[in-house]
Amino acid sequence: MFFASDNAGPAHPQIMQRVMEANEGYALPYGNDLLMDEVRAGIRTTFEAPDAEVFLVATGTAANALALASYCQPWQVIFCSEVSHIEEDECNAPEFFAGAAKLKLIATDDKMTPDALRAAIARRAPDDVHTAQRGPVSITQVTERGSVHGLEELRALTGVAKEFDLPVHMDGARFANAIVALGCSAADMTWRAGVDVVSFGGTKNGCMGVEAVVFFDPSKSWEFQLRRKRGAHLFSKHRYLSAQMAGYLQDDLWKKTAQLANDNCAHLAAGLRNKGAEFVHEPQANMIFTRFPVPVHHKLRDAGATYNLWSDDGDSVTARLVCDWSISRENIDRFLSHF
């Protein structure tokens, strides 16, 4: 009954299979392996972006921090939500990689609104040398609260960025879960919606540890490669990153595992709803924020259930429950049985 995160489950067999197969003979290091060609082609096809530049790193924080740094000067700010992963859970990595830039937080408990974003951008005068300058906008899809921006919502946010000629980054740690939830294409949710660079997450969705940074503007390619090496994120035996991503893309595995995770979550949500649990945010992908009585919490903990406790007011707790692709219906039902 492990609902603490989608980074604790196993990798999908198809991923492991590709990694094992990749372990044959010699392969050029540092991203020059042949498998990377397959990955590049696969991403370009998936995103309908023949000129996209694609790079692999092993952690989501690396993907976000390096992608943002490519679009942010040290005297600029990155606009993001107050609850964003880059603000809350990356121990100043974005600031570090962006040369001591600032994160400018848009107050929200989930999604930024276009108006709040516009106001935050507008009040930073672009000709005032005292003010840290306007920089990129970062949007998390699925959000850190389990919500999914609809395509219109996305376009509204990127539209605000474009009003000010600012680049847009998407933190897609759960990119696949959003795609599956929306039923749209990867292109629709990125460059067609005004996104310039996306961290296309694999780790949380069935890989061992791989994320693709996809630039729709290929002019960033060489700078990114230098930033990646300087950040110590260029793998010598790169083939093992490539193999994971190749397996992830193969036959759209990434959508299948996301569908499994989202379905698991929907099953859990339906069960919780049945039991009368409240939702802090309406579950849309593979993450639930729900409130239930403290005694239930104790029963669940005693039974070995694992999840993040968000708050506890004495009467009830708020818990974050995340489903990955691998959790069994049995485990979910067992979890529900304690309510």
Cα 322 from Cα 245, distance rounded (Å):
23
Candidate list 200, 235, 289, 325; residue touching a second copy; CB under 8 A: 235
Cα 221 from Cα 199, distance rounded (Å):
14
Q: Which residue, 276 or 313, has its beta carbon nearer to a second copy? A: 313
CB of 243 to a second copy, least distance (A): 10
Subset of 8-67 contacting a second copy (CB under 8 A): 8-11, 16, 19-20, 23-30, 57-62, 65-66
Binding mask 275-314 for a second copy (x = CB under 8 A): -------------------------------x--------
Q: Are 204 and 6 in contact (CB under 8 A)?
A: yes
Cα 231 from Cα 154, distance rounded (Å):
30
Q: Assess 100 for contact with a second copy (CB under 8 A).
A: yes
Report the residue count for the chain.
Answer: 339
Cβ density class 255-266: b for 16+ within 10 Å, e for less: bbbbbbbbebbb
Pick the piece of the chain touching a second copy (CB under 8 A) from 5-13, 37-45, 176-184, 295-303. Answer: 5-13
**Helices and strands (H and E) in the chain: how many:** 14, 11
Q: How many residues bind a second copy (CB under 8 A)?
A: 72
Q: Assess 237 for contact with a second copy (CB under 8 A).
A: yes
Q: Are 105 and 134 in contact (CB under 8 A)?
A: no
CB of 185 to a second copy, least distance (A): 27
Instruction: Taking each helix axis as running N to C, give the angle between helix 253-274 and helix 175-182, from 0 to 180 degrees, rounded to the nearest 10.
Output: 70
Subset of 144-203 contacting a second copy (CB under 8 A): 203
What is the DSSP secondary structure assignment for residue 231, as one 8-state letter?
T
Q: Which residue, 9 or 42, has its beta carbon nearer to a second copy? A: 9
Q: Are strands 211-215 and 168-172 parallel, antiparallel or unpaired?
A: unpaired
Candidate list 67, 78, 90, 320; residue touching a second copy; CB under 8 A: 90
Q: 126 Cβ partners below 8 Å, 6+ apart?
A: 133, 134
Subset of 200-229 contacting a second copy (CB under 8 A): 203-204, 208-209, 223, 225-229
List the one residue out of 136, 98, 100 whose CA is nearest residue 230: 98
CB of 116 to a second copy, least distance (A): 14
Q: Which residue, 203 or 257, has its beta carbon nearer to a second copy? A: 203
Alpha-carbon torsion angle 311, 316, 318, 319, nearest 10: 110
CB of 125 to a second copy, least distance (A): 11
Candidate list 41, 132, 151, 184; residue touching a second copy; CB under 8 A: 132
Candidate list 88, 115, 152, 333; residue touching a second copy; CB under 8 A: 88
Candidate list 34, 51, 92, 218; residue touching a second copy; CB under 8 A: 92
